[in-house]
Amino acid sequence: MKKAILILMATVLVGGMLFAGGGQEEPAAMEDVMEVEVLHWWTSGGEAAALNVLKEDLEAKGISWVDMPVAGGGGTEAMTVLRSRATSGNPPAAVQMLGFDIIDWASEGLLANLNDVAEAEGWDAVVPEALQKFSKYDGVWIAAPVNIHSTNWVWANKKVCDELGIALPIRSWDDFIMALDKVKASGRTALAHGGQAWQDATMFDSAVIAAGGPEFYKKTMIDLDEAALGSATMKDAFDKMDQLRSYVDDNFSGRDWNLASAMVIEGQAGFQMMGDWAKGEFLNAGQVPGVDFVAFRTPGTQGTVTFNADQFVMFEVDESLRTAQNMLASAILSPTFQVAFNTVKGSVPARTDVSDAEFTIIGKTGMKELAEANSNGTLFGSMAHGHSCPAAVKNAIYDVVTAHFNGQYDAAQAVQELVKAVASAK
Ligand code: BGC
């Protein structure tokens, strides 16, 4: 009885808040179920800490959170679980998703329409264009963007670097190789890496830019230009991957990315090449930026930013679940949540009107570089994280990059395989 009254009060309150901007109040439905089931892959310590910000925010509004975690960066495993839930006609209310995956799901007609919330809260004016491209389908808002991550970063153990006389930040590829050599010579693992396709691909995005610059990245990973994909410059990108491979320890295969971060945190390794969600992991371990760890753009990629954005895609659910689903969408886009969440997660807000005051120096730099790259035309979607080309092409590129990284092809063969794989997937 008590619970029913509470639920009713929450519904009335939220109905009022949600639609206040639109000037009308939605009548509260007695039978509303105030819970949201959320499918996501935020299972590391830093990710879980960030997710808690959202859970607590919703719980304070009377919504219970039904957690559906599926480990695996890049979301490949999560998409497989989602497929089976959707096939049995029972998708979760909200699903963490990246870029082109969203478009694929939207084209199946299974997603909810968030336009009422989006209009009432003015999302069109504050969500960057590069994100709206994936948050909307046929003019309908189908997803609530949570953040913007960027992927071309190196994370360094400051004490290890100081001890070995490595000056940070490192700017050029050659200096990076020299630094890796020094760490390797000290008996540590030079490059902490987890051998999973999406992690190999994360390094490959940067190797492509370091080999051919931003124009080359655009031609190959976005325009899928056959001549550029098969060029000598692409061979240089694979040569760079071969160099990186020589600094990875013997146990890299299958390792989760956060365990690779832990190797840097604990000083067993010097560097990790990873998106800025790694910052959440360092912070969660009590590390202080500039004192314990330093982050810098992957050498050879300065001025270019490869990004991805996590969005919570809302599925068409039973009417009784819609108020809670709309409240989740509304909570995600609120400026206070955007700051509270992104300062923990390592990402930057998915709105253009949020101050950087609460962010660390790395977050402030990230926001500044993102804005600069955006106005210079050097902000690109990350291939590795589903924002440069459709999922089928991305998966075809993953296969070649991983096979090469594991020694199945030399660099010249990898170039040929890449051309073939992209041609048959696009
Ligand atoms: C997501 C991040 C996540 C990372 C590792 C990326 O694809 O965008 O939010 O932290 O995978 O799990």
Of 72-76, 337-341, 368-372, the least confident: 72-76
Which protein residues are within 6 Å of ligand 1, measured from CB?
Answer: 41, 47, 73-75, 98, 149, 257, 277, 308, 310, 385
pLDDT at 59 over 50: yes
- pLDDT, residue 31, reads 82
Examine the fold and report which residue of 336, 366, 396 is the final residue of a domain before the chain moves on. Answer: 366
Tell me what the mean pLDDT of segment 178-182 comes to: 98
Please report the pLDDT score of residue 74 as a whole number.
84
Cβ-contact 364, 348 below 8 angstroms: no
One domain, residues 275 and 421: yes
Q: Which residue has the higher pLDDT, 376 or 26?
A: 376
* Residue 256 sits in the same domain as residue 329: no
- Single-letter amino acid code for the residue at 87: T
Q: Which of 366, 394, 413 is the last residue of a domain?
A: 366
Q: What is the number of the ligand 1 atom nearest to the C-alpha of 385?
A: 7
Q: Atom 5, ligand 1: which residue's CA is nearest?
A: 73
Look at residue 6 and tell me if it is in a domain.
no
Cis peptide before 169 (omega within 30 of 0): yes
Rounded to whole angstroms, the Cα distance separating 346 from 255 reads 21
Ligand 1 centre to CA of 96 (Å) is 10
Q: Which residue, 40, 72, 98, is CA-closest to 381? A: 98
CA of 25 to the centre of ligand 1 (A): 37
Q: How confident is the model at residue 93 (pLDDT cuts 50, 70, 90)?
A: very high
Determine the pLDDT at residue 12. Answer: 39
Euclidean distance between CA atoms 58 and 51, whole angstroms = 11
- Is the pLDDT at 21 greater than 60? The verdict is no
- Residue 186's pLDDT is 98
**Could you give the C-alpha distances from 303 to 3, 380, 388, in angstroms and in order?**
54, 11, 18
- 244 and 270: one domain? yes
**331 & 191 share domain:** no
Average pLDDT over residues 202-214: 98
CB neighbour class for 39 (10 Å; exposed up to 12, middle 13-18, buried from 19): buried
Gyration radius from the chain CA atoms: 22
* Same domain (yes/no): 253, 340: no
* Distances 97 to 134, 227, 389 between C-alpha atoms, Å: 10, 31, 15
Residue to substitute in 147, 277, 344 for testing ligand 1 pocket (most ligand atoms within 8 angstroms of CB):
277
Contact 175, 397 (CB under 8 A): no
> In terms of residue numbers, what domain contains 238?
152-307+384-425
248 in the same domain as 299: yes
Q: Total domain count for the chain? A: 2
Same domain, 63 and 51: yes
pTM above 0.85, yes or no: yes
Give residue 28's pLDDT: 53
pLDDT band at 30 (very low <50, low <70, confident <90, very high): low
Model pLDDT for residues 278-337, shown as the tens digit of each residue: 999 999 999 999 999 999 999 999 999 999 999 999 999 999 999 999 999 999 999 999
- Residue-level pLDDT at 23: 41
Distance 232 CA to ligand 1 centre (A): 31
Of 366, 392, 416, the last residue of a domain is 366
Confidence at 15, pLDDT banded by 50, 70, 90: very low
Span 121-125, average pLDDT: 97
For residue 19, pLDDT beyond 80: no
40 and 166 together in one domain: no
Kindly report the protein residue whose alpha carbon is nearest to atom 4 of ligand 1: 73
Which value, to the nearest 10 degrees, does the dihedral of the CA atoms of residues 255, 260, 263, 265 take?
-150
Q: Are strands 269-273 and 153-157 parallel, antiparallel or unpaired?
A: antiparallel
Q: Is residue 5 part of a domain?
A: no
Question: At 349, which CATH number?
Answer: 3.40.190.10
Residue 381 has φ and ψ, to the nearest 5°, of -65, 140
Look up tokens 């202080």; give the residue. Answer: 288
The residue-averaged pLDDT of 195-216 equals 98
Same domain membership, residue 56 and residue 193: no
The answer on 234 and 216 residing in a single domain is yes
Whose C-alpha lies nearest to ligand 1, atom 9? Answer: 310
How many C-beta atoms lie closer than 10 Å to residue 326's C-beta?
A: 23
How many whole angstroms from 330 Cα to the centroid of ligand 1? 22
Going from the Cα of 379 to the center of ligand 1, the distance in angstroms, rounded, reads 18
Alpha helices, DSSP H only, in 74-128?
A: 76-87, 99-106, 115-121, 123-126
Q: Residue 424 CB: number of other CB atoms within 10 A?
A: 10
